[in-house]
Amino acid sequence: MGKLLVVGSVALDTVRTPFGEVSEVLGGSATYFATAASYFTGVDLIAVVGEDFPEQHVKFLKSRGIDLAGLERRKGETFRWKGEYSHQLNEARTLDTRLNVLESFRPKIPERYCSPDLLFLGNIDPELQLDVLRQVRRPALVACDTMNFWIEGKRDALWRTLKEVDVLIINDGEARALGGNPNLVQVAKEILSRGPKQLIVKRGEYGVLLFNHKQTFGAPAFPLEQVKDPTGAGDTFAGGFMGYLASTGNLSEESYRQAIIFGSVMASFTVEAFSLDRLRALDYKEIEGRFRQFKRLTHFEDIP
């Protein structure tokens, strides 16, 4: 089982969807990622919170076996995000973002985290992502996420970071913005020519696409009867994907495809409830069961 390190945000979210509203609940990219990955492997987490961060959330993360030696608690308030979704649920409208202690966050890697087998650089400033990479021994696999804010504001720094990254995991809107093209196949060619060996494009209810220099792989989204809150689905996907790869130590093409399905499985559970409520109640048998349902959903015989 490989050591998996995640650097990202831990937040308090206020979210409104057509199916309800929650206030100041546990959120953040590193939180969703680490919780999903913890079903497959041990996770070390690096993030920052304020003095107002509730102890019950720390207890929950510890209960998932997540190592919090890298969770810095600082004077000030925890990062807060407020958003709402329309009935389409594909994209959140941000109502308020307060970076608080995250604004001056400079990740410091504890000594015992310095040799991870896999590293996930969550959605933070690309210059900080690169700084984290310089603080660790080169892992077997480095994956990262980004967002339009960095694509528009720090494009050059982002390209420098991507030269050092094996897998870029972003949504279709971000991919088009980064590649400067509405066509995802052409976008993939552009991005793969600039560093990453694999590009994973998350497409919400339309599933996931994996591009590399040899081939393309697509997986649908799992058809769900109930979707309550899509917040964190992308981070949960990344956690399932990286967690599965860390658990096997296998970085073959076949393993990547399985990891994409496990990522999709974890995301499908996340959206069934607000915050991390569905992930809290999950057991591994349910994860395996939905993986097999995915297999049946996508299986067909070759023509004779």
Residues in the chain: 304
Separation between Cα atoms, residue 179 and residue 186, nearest integer Å: 8
Mean pLDDT of 46-58: 97
Confidence of residue 61 (pLDDT cuts 50, 70, 90): very high
The per-residue pLDDT for 91 is 79
**pLDDT for position 158:** 97
Spatial contact of 153 and 124, defined as CB atoms under 8 Å apart: no
Query: To the nearest whole number, what is the mean pLDDT of the chain?
Result: 95
Q: Give pLDDT tens digits for 2-24.
A: 899 999 999 999 999 999 999 99
**pLDDT score of 182 more than 90:** yes
Q: What is the pLDDT of residues 142-160, one digit of tens each?
A: 999 999 889 999 999 999 9
pLDDT at residue 211, rounded to an integer: 98
User: Quick one: DSSP state of residue 231?
Assistant: T
Q: Which amino acid is at 114?
A: C
pLDDT at 205: 86
Question: What is the predicted pLDDT for the residue at 92?
Answer: 84
Residue-wise pLDDT tens digits, 80-121: 999 999 988 877 889 999 999 999 999 999 999 999 999 999
* Domains, the chain, with CATH or none: 4-297 (3.40.1190.20)
Give per-residue pLDDT as tens, 201-227: 999 889 999 999 999 999 999 999 989
**Which pLDDT score is estimated for 152?**
93
Per cent of the chain over pLDDT 90 is 93
pLDDT band at 251 (very low <50, low <70, confident <90, very high): very high
Contacts with 285 (C-beta within 8 Å, 6 or more apart), sequence order: none
Average pLDDT over residues 256-278: 97
pLDDT category of residue 276 using cuts at 50, 70 and 90? very high
Q: Which of 57, 55, 63 is nearest to 38 (CA)?
A: 63
